[in-house]
Amino acid sequence: MAVSYKDLGLVNTKELFKKATEGKYAIPAFNFNNMEQMQAIVQACVETKSPVILQVSGGARKYANQTLLRYMAQGAVEYAKELGYNIPIVLHLDHGDTFELCQSCIEYGFSSVMIDGSHHSYEENVALTRKVVEYAHKYDVTVEGELGVLAGIEDDVVAEHHTYTQPEEVQDFVSKTGVDSLAISIGTSHGANKFKPEQCTRNAEGILIPPPLRFDILEAIEKKIPGFPIVLHGSSSVPQQYVKTINDNGGKLKDTIGIPEDELRRASKSAVCKINIDSDGRLAMTASIRENFIQHPEWFDPRQYLGPAREELKKLYAHKTVNVLGSAGKA
Ligand SMILES: [Zn+2]
């Protein structure tokens, strides 16, 4: 029962990335796997009039169920209209690892897929990405490829160290594969523990400052492929007030360090036109739920603690579109 994303009211990334590159902002790619997250994303993006990429990893797809996801994405489109503004919504596969997974997502209504061949040799990455592009473009689905490897852990994606993207490779990769956008590695990192404290310096208030992103590599890449849409993964900022709330309420998070928002703001103004944010949403939700569990031990209706968690998520997402990515008002 294949369905086209166009019948669900979704869009691919083509037009969005073109406008984002020209307008010097980035489209938010927020991960989701349940109803409250989806509601928070749509509410925040409608209120701030931001286009949005609803992003699902292979693991999240298994968790939520492929058929439900299709209807949730369609529901997101209808929900946005009901809230009063028809924002462009993309349904995107995050870190697809096989041709078959990408194919299946396209059959179930995804408008965009990532094929992450970055763990393979360069030649194998090119061949796998090319194969996915050839299939996806038949259905007008856009494809994100990756060159270079990010450090960190996110779902099934694990790497010990960064392998920075080599600017010498990007032109060849883009032309051989036909991808629509390229994820690069310039020092962002997956998960909530993006850096070890010993990699960081401390500012006057004793706050850990991570090593800066490699904007020199980004600039070299932009010179090789001018105007081509660039994607940053692992771009949560890991707000320390959430970490504190979690740990003050029985949590045990250690060494949590994210990417400073001013660096992401700077990246948004470059060829970077999609920024992935997952961990910040996880932290916001967990902080709110933990706090309410401690403050209201008598609660047992999930709406009592999922409702405020959804509110907190919405605040976070609206803050990102307005103050970090610059996508507010661009829908
Ligand atoms: Zn990623």
Q: Is the pLDDT of residue 154 over 80?
A: no
Name the percent of the chain lying above pLDDT 70. Answer: 99
Cβ atoms 320, 28 nearer than 8 A: yes
Q: Alpha carbon of 253 to those of 107, 127, 283: distances in Å?
A: 39, 40, 10
Strands 112-115 and 201-202: unpaired
Of 78-82, 142-146, 183-187, 206-210, minimum mean pLDDT range: 206-210
- CA–CA dist 289, 312 (Å, integer): 10
> Tokens for 30?
């927020």
Q: Please give the pLDDT value at position 188.
A: 93
Residue 94 annotated in active site: yes
Q: Which residue reads 């689905």 in tokens?
A: 141
Give me the mean pLDDT over the 161-169 stretch.
91
Distance 57 CA to ligand 1 centre (A): 9
Distance 310 CA to ligand 1 centre (A): 23
Distance 190 CA to ligand 1 centre (A): 6
Q: Is the pLDDT of residue 28 over 90?
A: yes
Distance 3 CA to ligand 1 centre (A): 26
Q: Please give the pLDDT value at position 297.
A: 97
- Specify the amino acid at residue 227: G
pLDDT tens, residue by residue, 258-307: 999 999 999 999 999 999 999 999 999 999 999 999 999 999 999 999 99
Q: In this structure, what is the dihedral angle of CA atoms 174, 221, 272, 149, given to the nearest 10 degrees? A: 80
94 Cβ partners below 8 Å, 6+ apart? Answer: 29, 31, 55, 56, 57, 58, 60, 114, 276
Strands 89-96 and 208-209: unpaired
Give me the mean pLDDT over the 241-270 stretch.
95
Of 4-18, 76-90, 129-143, 193-207, minimum mean pLDDT range: 193-207
Q: Is the pLDDT of residue 238 over 80?
A: yes
H or E stretch covering 53: strand 52-57
Distance 294 CA to ligand 1 centre (A): 33
129 Cβ partners below 8 Å, 6+ apart? Answer: 115, 117, 143, 145, 173, 177, 179
For residue 311, what pLDDT band results from cuts at 50, 70 and 90?
very high
Q: Please give the pLDDT value at position 158.
A: 73
Q: Please give the pLDDT value at position 150.
A: 87
Query: How many residues would you count in the chain?
Result: 331
Give me the mean pLDDT over the 169-179 stretch.
98
For residue 161, what pLDDT band results from cuts at 50, 70 and 90?
confident
Distance 56 CA to ligand 1 centre (A): 11
Name the percent of the chain lying above pLDDT 90. Answer: 89
Phi, then psi, of 166 in degrees rounded to 5 = -95, 115
Q: What is the mean pLDDT of the chain?
A: 95
- Specify the amino acid at residue 273: C
Distance 278 CA to ligand 1 centre (A): 9
Distance 225 CA to ligand 1 centre (A): 22
Strands 157-159 and 112-115: unpaired
Q: Please give the pLDDT value at position 231.
A: 98
Strands 189-190 and 151-154: parallel
Closest by alpha carbon to 3, among 80, 63, 74, 57?
74
Q: Please give the pLDDT value at position 1.
A: 60
- CA–CA dist 53, 48 (Å, integer): 14
Q: Which residues surround ligand 1, an ion (CB under 5 A)?
A: 233
Of 7, 94, 97, 255, which one is the catalytic site residue? Answer: 94
